[in-house]
Each structure stands twice: as structure tokens, then as C-alpha cells.
Structure 1
Amino acid sequence: MDAAVAGQQSRRRIRPPEPLVMAAAPPTPAAFRCPISLEVMRSPVSLPTGATYDRASIQRWLDSGHRTCPATRLPLASTDLVPNLLLRRLIHLHAATLPPSPSPEQVLSQLAAADGEPAAAEKAVRSLAAKIAPEKGKRASVASAVAADLDSAVPALLSFAKGGAGADARVDAVRILATVAPELVAYLTGDGKEKPGRVSMAVEALAAVLSADGVAEEAKDAVVVTLVAEDLGRIATTLLGAGSNGAAVLEAILTLPAADADAKTAIADRPELFPDLVRILRDAASPAAIRCMAAAVQVRGRPARASMVRAGAIPALALAVAAAPTAAAESALRLLAEAARCGDGKAAIAADAAEVAAAVMGRMIRVGPAGREAAVVALWLSCCAGGGERRMREAVASAPEAVGKLLVVMQGDCAPTTSRMAGELLRAVRLEQERKGMAASYDSRTIHVMPY
């Protein structure tokens, strides 16, 4: 056998090594998951109907007054919960076959490495959020892991929360941010020597936590308590300098019950509050600035209303009524109605009569019932109450389709008081039109009722 043939036989006998394949974790049987929470049960208990649930989930169901089985909808002859010991043993045996879960630090590393890979990032965020459930007892370890590298972890979580992931995953990212609220608040009370962007990062994260619908009220209350326990004056100044996100945080302090009345009053009485909120509203068309103004007026009433008018809020609110999303426009309409309740506010509205009338009349039938009522109140106070302001009556009478829109409101589903105000406005508009020699009727073909 020559050397060439021997070499070929040798190459045929040598096989490359088989790739290492990790054994996949066994799937979790559906019977191990609670029908209510869809999580693996920790303490399975059975109802008389035979259905099994996690004790915490079914107890909440019963405590809320239900007396039926959630799965079968059958009435319960008894609410006794019988421990399902066999199922609990099987769940424990299954858990022993699972690979150990990664630590919070490892999950954060996975999140950082998943930049540009939404699926991998979502998996990392959901894994980390699962560790902060109260029954896990690991909230402190998650907070410690995030706090150890705030400068990279917080932006990654914020980016994910604002990205294209599913709603549940975005809420999970915000819930993780809530665990490090005290560390974020510390950036707001620093000596001003923090790294560039740290304060804005902290404010954006706090705003995300306090504005998210899926974050528990207890978590939001804890953030507010941390905020008001610090140097509230310095924090308010920092928040007002942080734009729309800062306004959102201030709104939460003014509205959530965790802050006491003294703290809310201290914020509402700050002389720079309304001037800064007006600036934010003009610069960013910020719905949060409108809501913060409304919260301050709710807290302090007449003094805050006067401060709002003096700060030049009327033109900015008129622009918001015309161009903001529906919810923000309704809030702006309510603030205009509040301003019209005082002499200075009525005069300020009359000074910008053309802009205010055009904005309010143009949006009146393109908002919901609460917004329409606020629009009518603002116009009635400006045009009719106490003799009204002539400039506002002229401006409303000159607004396109004013008569038709007021008729739409009167004939719609509104409160009797609103209907009466709209009727008085209609008479004032018709008289003004007759005085000016304008057409006293309207062409119904020109009325376009927009959807709410």
C-alpha cells in the first residue's frame, strides 16, 4: 500500500468531533400554571369544583367578592381551599430539573449585549422583572444590580421602555426602574457636578415610573415619598429646568396622595412654577405642563389661578386647545375656564380674543363631553357673565360656524347648565352679528360635525 492510499484511509477513519449540544430545559406543563396568573404555582390549592389555583391568586379573587370558580364559572358551595400536595410535589420535582436562573447582574449584561436585538432584550427584561415580584424576595438584589451601574443600566431600560416591544415588556422595564428610585432622586439633589446628562436621565426615568399605567400605585407612592423627603425646593427647581419630564414628575407630586398637603402647597406657591410651565408648554407643546398647571390650580385655587394668568398662560393654552391631542386640549379648555372666573383672567382672555375664540370654537365639537362643557363655560364666562367682554363677543361672533356649533352643543347630550349657557351664548352671538350687520342665519351645509 503506497503512502497516498494510506493517507486517504487515515483521513476516512478520523471524524470531526460532534458539536456540543446543551440539553433543553424541559417545558413547564400547563397544569403547573395558575389559570388566573398563568405563572407556575407556588402553593396550589383546589376549590370544591376541582379546579386548582395558586393560593395568592384565588384568595384575591375571593376577597374581591366573587363566589364562583374562575375557570368553570360554577357557583361555589364553599370557599374552603384544599392544598393540592401532590401537585405541589410535582412542581418542586420539575423545578429541580431546571437550570439555575441567571443572577440580576448576568441579566443586565445580557440586556446590554442585546443592543439591536429586540427579542433578546425583551427576554432579558422579562427575566429581570420576574425577580422583583414580591413573593420572590429578590427586589433588593435587582435594585442593587441596577444601582451598581446606573449610567448604563438606566439608559438601556429607558430605551427599551420607549422602543417597539410589547406593552407588558415596556411596563416591566419601568417596574425595574422603580426599584432604584432613591438612587435616581439623589441625582436631583446633587451639587451640580454630576456627569453631563445624569440629571436629565434621572428625571426621564422618574417620569416614566410615575406616568406608567402598569406600575403599582404603591411603587409610585414610594417614589413620591422619596422626593418630598429630600430638599423639595432644590428638587422643584431641578425638575422645572428639566422640561416636560420634570413637569410630569411635579404633576405626580401634586396629585398622588403620598405627598402631604404642605408639600403640595409649597410647590404650587413657588413663584417660578407657572412661568416655567408656560415656557415648557410653549417650547415643547407639553401635555405634562398643562396637567401640572391644572394640578397646581386644584391644590391652591384662586392664588394659583391668578399666578397662571400673570405668567402669560392664556396664549399658550389657546395654542394647546387648537393643536394638542384631545386629552391635553380638554385640560387646556378647563384651565381657560378657570382663568375666566377671575377679572384678570377674563381681561387676559379678551386681550387675545381672536386667538382664544378661534381655538375654542374650532375645537368645541372635536373633544369629548367634558371638553365641550369646559369650552362653553370658558366662553360664557368671557362673553356673558357680569356683562362679559365686548372683544370676546365680537371674536366669538366672527368665528366660522359659531351659531351652528353652539346649536350642536345645545342639542347634544350635555348637562342642563351647559345647555343654558350655550343658549345664552347663542343669543349674545346673534345680537352681535345683527349689530355688525353680519348674516343672522347659518347654512347647515357648512356645519361639519367632527368625531369626538
Structure 2
Amino acid sequence: MGIREMRGRLAAEYQGLEVKVPNLFRCPISLDVMRSPVSLCTGVTYDRASIQHWIDSGNTTCPATMLPLPSTDLVPNLTLRRLIALWASTAAPASSSPSPLAPSAVGATPAAAAAELFRRIAAPGADPCPALRKLTALLSDDDVDEFDKNALARAAGAAETVASVLLRGQKEAGLEAAEAAVRVLAAIAASDCIEEENKKWVTAALAADAASTVASLARVLRSGSGLEARIDAARLVESLLRNAAPGVSATVAEAEELVAELIRLIGPVDEKGSLDKQAVVAGLSCLAAFAATRRARSEMVRFGAVPAAIRVLKADAGSPSQALRVLEAAVGCAEGRAAICEAAESAIPAVVSKMMKGRMGGAEAAVSVLWAVCHRYRDRRAVDAAAACEGGLTKLLLLMQSGCSPPARQMASELLKIFKVNAKSCLAGYDSKTTHIMPF
């Protein structure tokens, strides 16, 4: 056999070993097979890690279509996920180690593994922590199939069993067990790969004894040994506020100790005054949920939500949109407006600087804050601070041209009068023969 013929045969054999990946299974950003496909409101599906990085980088458009995103919610594409799992289990060549894309086994079957873990957790006198940590690891492992995770979440009595450990932690001073239970429950309630029906079981289990649940979560927030457990406790509080029945949500919203601990969560984590991004995002998101209750707004302000949100904006830590939403809630009460106006020299520039740095909801929240203190209540300190902000007029004009809501456009139009004095200097940089008509 000649060398040319040998090369041809080897090439043919190699071609037969290649696995052809359907284009539909590839992420438009990374071009890799999607592990966790999620869809944007534009209808385009991406791998969760890739599109989340795109959004967290401050982008407000769909990378495939470049259309603006009125919403950045990520909806799991379970149908495509099933197709990818089926393809991976049949197309990938056999090997001794399972493909991370193929459905993983958590034991003989997910149901059997779950039953064994929950039996250990519920066993009288047994330490539930090892089994709880095993559950957390499985629910957090990207290589564990989403179907297996949902099987764990929907196992009969799963949420009730883990929630009972959290409540026992309050009564029996088992803080370590309470933290481990919080990690499991948050891995279900705050995960995008868990189906909504399975998340409802967690909410129902925690709402069954709302007062004890609040006390247990406040304890983990206050005395938790690790920042991760405190962050997960905040996520569970937010889940209750947003998803539980009105009576339960009211019980949670009236818990002053939770508000105080959430504000402490978004504070500095070391002597250098640095902020943890995940803690900031979890704390601010939960505070925004608290703000739906008028009484809670006053409590938030009393415990220091305004300076905390301003600190986040100035430090560029976490999501500016969430910090702006907290400030928007604060201006809904007299105490909040007073706190912002008293710190106007630092608060107003921080709000203006982040107006166009986040999502549209954050930009509209910034306009709402400025309009409340500068136009509606006409606080002189706030007006002077706003007028002195460099680029304020330009940002308001950009917002009005970016498809914001009619109320936000009206508020921005009324705010433009504050910047009238600096209008000519603001537009002096335009080198164009076009006639610019000022909107005032």
C-alpha cells in the first residue's frame, strides 16, 4: 500500500470518528455545545454562562440580533436541553468516563439516591450535615444533568425534610445544620435550572411556619460562619417575599431584623472596606423586594439603606440597577428623601454617573430618584448637585432616545430644565452643521 493510499484510509477512519454537532446545539456566543440553554425575550437561545457574562458586562442588546432588551430574564429552554442530552447520550463515543453532557447518575437512579439522602437527613439523632452538603454539591454541580437536579428537588417530602432541619436549627441551636439546610433550599429556590413547580415546594415548606422561618433565616444572616450561607439566606428571604401568599409575605416584610442584616450583608467584608459582588447583588435584590411594602421602606431607611446603596454605586460593586431601585424605593417616603438630600453632594453625582451604566430599569429608577428630589420636592441641595454633574444633560437626552417608558420620558423632560444653564457647553462638542433644537 502506498503512502498516499494509507493517508487516505487514515483520513477516512478519522472522519468516521468525528462527532458532528448540530448547529442548533451550539451557543451563538461561545460556539460550544450548550450545557444550560436559556432563551432571551428576543427568542434567541444561548448557553447560560455566556449570555450571563454578556449581560453582566453591561450590554443591553441581544448579541445575535443586536435588538434592545426590554427584559434580561433568562428562560430555561428545557426542550432543547432534552434534545442535547439525548444527542449526547447517543452520539458521543463510548468511554470509561461519562460525558458531562450526558444524563448523569446520582446513584442507581436520581429518585433512589434522593430517598437515601433524605432518609439520612430525617434520621433521629443523626447529623444531617453530611447528607445536606452532598445535596448542595449535586445541585450546584454543572456536570449533573438538570433532569437529575429536578428529580432531587421534586422527591416526595424533600423540601419539608430540609426545611425541618432549618427550623430545628432555630430551636436547638444547631447553626451549622441550619446553614447547610439553607444552602440546599437556596440551590433549589434560586436556581434557574430548577422548574418553577419544584421551587414552589420550597416556598410552601418555609411558609408553613413563617415566624420560625424568619427567625431561623435572620439567625443565619446574623451569625452564619460563611458568607455563602448568608447570601443563600438572603435569596430565600427574597423568594418568600416574591412568591409566598400575601399573609406570609407580610410577616416576612415586617421582620426588622431581616432588614438590618440585609443592609449589613451589602457592607464591607474586610478592613479595607471592599464589597463582595455576590453579597451586594443578593442583599440589594432582597431589599428591592422588601420595598414593595410601604412600612418596610421606612425601616430600610432607618437601618441605613440609602448610604449603603450610595456606597455600592460609588464603589462600582454589584449591579448599579439594583442599587438605583433601592434608592427609588427610598424616595417614596419622607425619611428616604431626607437621607438622599442630606448626602446630595455624593448621592446625586453617584446616581447620575450610573444612569446609563445598567439596564433600562435601573436608568428609569435613576430618573425617578432625581425627579423626586429635584423637581417634585425641589430640594435646593439636590438641584445644585444635579446641575453641577458633568454630562447629566447628555445622559437624559440619551435616555429619552433609548425607548424608555412614557413616564420616564416625561420625568427626564422636566429634569432637563435643571441643566439649562450648562446646555451650550454640553453641546459644544458637536461638530455638525445640523441645527440642534433644545428641548426647553
| TM > 0.5 | yes
Aligned length: 313
Give the aligned partner of residue 255 of structure 1: 242
Instruction: State how 1:273-422 maps to structure 2 within 5 Å.
Output: 273-283=258-268, 284=276, 285-298=279-292, 300=293, 302-322=294-314, 323-325=316-318, 328-386=319-377, 388-422=378-412
Whole-angstrom CA distance in 2 between matches of 1:291 and 1:394: 30
TM-score scaled to structure 1, two decimals? 0.61
* From 144, 152, 161, the counterpart of 1:176: 152
Whole-angstrom CA distance in 1 between matches of 2:260 and 2:398: 36
After superposition, give the CA deviation of every residue in 1:60-93 in whole Å (9 maximum; x if it has no partner): xxxxxxxxxx9xxxxxxxxxxxxxxxxxxxxxxx
CA contact (8 A) 2:121 2:161 kept: no
- What secondary structure is seen at the aligned counterpart in 2 of 1:235? helix
Instruction: Report % sequence identity.
Output: 27
Displacement of 1:248: 0.5
Whole-angstrom CA distance in 1 between matches of 2:135 and 2:408: 47
Displacement of 1:354: 2.8
1:215 aligns with 2:194: yes
After superposition, give the CA deviation of every residue in 1:102-142 in whole Å (9 maximum; x if it has no partner): xxxxxxxxxxxxxxx9969998953449533xxx9x96566
CA contact (8 A) 1:160 1:173 kept: yes
Whole-angstrom CA distance in 1 between matches of 2:175 and 2:430: 58
Structure 1: tracts of 5 or more residues without a match: 1-69, 71-116, 447-452
Whole-angstrom CA distance in 2 between matches of 1:192 and 1:443: 67
Structure 2: tracts of 5 or more residues without a match: 1-78, 80-95, 225-229, 269-275, 432-440
Distance 1:396 1:170, change over 3 A: farther
Give the aligned partner of residue 228 of structure 1: 207
Whole-angstrom CA distance in 1 between matches of 2:430 and 2:108: 57
CA contact (8 A) 1:157 1:177 kept: no
CA contact (8 A) 2:364 2:408 kept: yes
Distance 1:145 1:364, change over 3 A: same
Whole-angstrom CA distance in 2 between matches of 1:407 and 1:130: 58
Give the aligned partner of residue 185 of structure 2: 206
Whole-angstrom CA distance in 2 between matches of 1:339 and 1:407: 25
Amino acid at match of 1:208: A
CA contact (8 A) 2:321 2:362 kept: yes
Whole-angstrom CA distance in 1 between matches of 2:375 and 2:152: 53
Q: Larger radius of gyration, structure 1 or 2? A: 1
Amino acid at match of 1:314: V
- What secondary structure is seen at the aligned counterpart in 2 of 1:384? helix
TM-score scaled to structure 2, two decimals? 0.62
Displacement of 1:395: 1.9
1:131 aligns with 2:110: yes
Amino acid at match of 1:330: S
CA contact (8 A) 1:274 1:308 kept: yes
CA contact (8 A) 1:321 1:332 kept: yes
- What secondary structure is seen at the aligned counterpart in 1 of 2:426? coil
Displacement of 1:430: 2.9
Amino acid at match of 1:240: L
What CA RMSD, in Å, does the superposition of the two structures yield over aligned residues? 3.4
Higher relative contact order (CA 8 A, sep 6+): 2
* From 212, 232, 238, the counterpart of 1:245: 232
* From 126, 134, 137, the counterpart of 1:156: 134
Give the aligned partner of residue 63 of structure 2: none
CA contact (8 A) 1:239 1:249 kept: no
Whole-angstrom CA distance in 1 between matches of 2:184 and 2:165: 11
Displacement of 1:209: 1.0
Displacement of 1:353: 1.6
Displacement of 1:262: 1.7
Amino acid at match of 1:365: M
Displacement of 1:175: 5.1
Distance 1:427 1:359, change over 3 A: same
Amino acid at match of 1:255: R
